[in-house]
Homo-oligomer: A and B are copies of this chain.
Amino acid sequence: MSVAEIGDRVGLSSTPCWKRIQRLEADGVITKRVALVDQDKIGLGLSVFVSIESGDHSDAWLKTFADAVSAMPEVIEFYRMAGDVDYMLRVVVADMRAYDQFYKKLIGTVPLKNVTSRFAMEKIKSVTALPVPPMTVS
């Protein structure tokens, strides 16, 4: 959508609309512009949720672990969790064989107490749009 078109929708001409977008980018609200791709159509049809219990909770261990896992391109998301699970990953790979390779790489990197892999059979919904509340006109 062009800036002019966005401007129309919010009732603004293109210059002030463009300036607002520039500010959102300068402030880091907008982090990047990307093209979204169909996972299946590029042969990366397997999504896996991985729950990890660490055992070791030292700062040094965490740094090693965080750096190693972050560097793995198959890891799309990586969170430190509250509760019974310490870390949670969302991993995207081509198939089970590729996942097994990833899994061996993962458990070979640092010692882990427990790793549970849960496999997605069907993607029912997947969006990037965040639930922004509708603007209230003042």
Tell me whether A123 and B79 are in contact (CB under 8 A).
Answer: yes
Copies of this chain in the oligomer: 2
Q: Choose one: B76, B121, B126; the contact of A130 (CB below 8 Å).
A: B76
Q: Write out the residue numbers on chain B whose beta carbons fall within 8 Å of the beta carbon of A70.
A: 124-125
Indicate if A119 sits at the interface (CB-CB under 8 A): yes
Q: Nearest B residue to A120 by beta-carbon distance? A: B79
- Complex-state Cα separation, A130 to B46, whole angstroms: 12
Q: How many residues of A contact B (CB 8 A)?
A: 54
When A49-B49, A118-B85, A132-B42 are in contact, do A125 and B36 touch as well, CB less than 8 Å?
no
Q: Write out the residue numbers on chain B whose beta carbons fall within 8 Å of the beta carbon of A36.
A: 30-34, 128
Q: Choose one: B33, B77, B90; the contact of A35 (CB below 8 Å).
A: B33
- Cβ contacts A10-50/B at 8 Å (1 or 0 each): 00000000000000000111111111111101101001010
Q: List 14 A-B contacts (CB under 8 A).
A: A29-B37, A30-B37, A30-B38, A33-B36, A44-B130, A44-B131, A47-B79, A49-B88, A76-B129, A76-B130, A78-B123, A82-B120, A83-B118, A128-B128
